[in-house]
Amino acid sequence: MVSKEYPRIGEKIYHAELPNGLHIYVDRRPEFQKSYAFFATNYGGMDMKFRLDGQWRDTPAGVAHFLEHKMFDTEDGNALQDLAANGASPNAFTSSALTGYYFESTEKFCDNLKILLSFVSIPWFTQESVDKEQGIIGQEIRMVEDDPDNQVFYGLMECLFDHHPIRVPIAGTQESISHITADTLYACHKAFYTPSNMILTVVGNVDPVHVADLARRILPREGGPVIPRDYGQEPAQVAAKETRMAMEVSAPQFLTAYKCAPAADGEDYLRTAVLGDMACDILLGDSSHLYQRLYEEGVINTSFGGAFEMMPGVAYLYAGGDSKDARRAAAEIQREAERLAAEGIDEDYYQRVRRASFGSNLRGLNSFENIAVTLTEGYFHGYDPFRFPQVFDSITKEDVAAFLRRNLTAERAVLSEIVPREN
């Protein structure tokens, strides 16, 4: 177990790599009663095509999410109930790029960690239980299909991306999950739930050496091979310029987005992530010239916001909310991006936004969950997320203007709308 200190942010992180390839990160917080454990695999909704045992496999949309649901089943019962009985608050989630299982507890931490590591490592399901789960997840999918927030988002994804599986809903569709069998789940668990494809992150009043020893005792001795994945060849241009859907909503909703150039893993990934966030704050933040003007003119309201997102092979910057004139909002965003790219960014405004963005990153260190997820994403993408102060130091307002100039062009822009259904 080695440790690394980060004086500028007041953090000290312990790190160990087990012989099976599992990486363990511990952020020790002796002043807190509670502790938080996050056990994650580098496997998410978009990992649908991969090579296992010398063969390429195409799996249905929704397998990663389906597997997350079923992993809590054990031969003796249910791990969720076991953790809750021990005073823990457990849960899990599946994103496009990862699946994470976690709990928070103030007592019996080691007992709970044993349960977490055991059930995630040892799959147990029958075809009967899989068939039953199809009904439960099918109901979840129907709810998502009736949700305008989800529909406007996936409309956006289908406009942005032609081939990349990020355009497919994480939970899949009614049709896709009907093809998921127990064998499908076991194959995906074998491929991706191996220690060398996973990370354990712990934050709280815990002994780092004890955590590593416990993981070494419980988890498999072998790590498993690297699993190649295929996301298809995604073109630089967008798949479609716009989409519009009528639903039972009281007010129109929209999302506009730009298909950005993704970064390779490593330090460049962190720099691009910080740069994209800064560009988003400068262009769209609630202290921006654009936000103030559109709000005063009634084009947007407090629901308006945006973000920069990156995953393997894709990146996009988006903005949206409620608006009676989505086209005008999208056009004004485009116009302001072009103005900032051409004229440059005011120095005082840049420094103000930079300080606020840096402060937001610092405040994120108050959340155990945020620390764990940040360390996890950093490990999976090959960078140290706690080096963000140095990255902030290296980014200039000219860098942000160049990012806008390169990525926020009219050719890269798409629009997704949800409008009230006419009766």
Helices (H) and strands (E) in the chain, counts: 15, 16
Strand order from edge to edge, sheet including 2-6: 2-6, 11-17, 23-28, 198-204, 35-41, 99-105, 89-94
Q: Which of 68, 104, 336, 377 is catalytic?
A: 68
Helix (H, G, I), strand (E, B) or coil at 227: coil
Task: Give dist(CA 392, CA 350) in Å, integer.
Answer: 12
CA angle 388, 393, 395 (to 5 degrees): 95
Q: Terminus-to-terminus CA distance in the chain, angstroms? A: 65
What are the E-state strand segments in 8-76?
11-17, 23-28, 35-41, 49-52, 55-58, 73-74
Strand partners, 17: 23
Q: Where are the alpha helices (DSSP H) in 31-147?
A: 63-70, 79-85, 109-121, 127-145
Q: Tell me if 176 sits within 8 A of 61, measured CB to CB.
A: yes
Structure token digits, residue 139: 């109901």
Active site residue 68: yes
With vertex at residue 388, the alpha carbon angle to CA 373 and CA 92, rounded to the nearest 5 degrees, is: 5
Q: What is the DSSP string of 328-376?
A: HHHHHHHHHHHHHHHH---HHHHHHHHHHHHHHHHHGGG-HHHHHHHHH
Q: Taking a C-beta distance cutoff of 8 angstroms, is the pair 23, 223 a contact? A: no
Q: Which two tokens stand for residue 327?
A: 């086209």
Catalytic residue set: 68
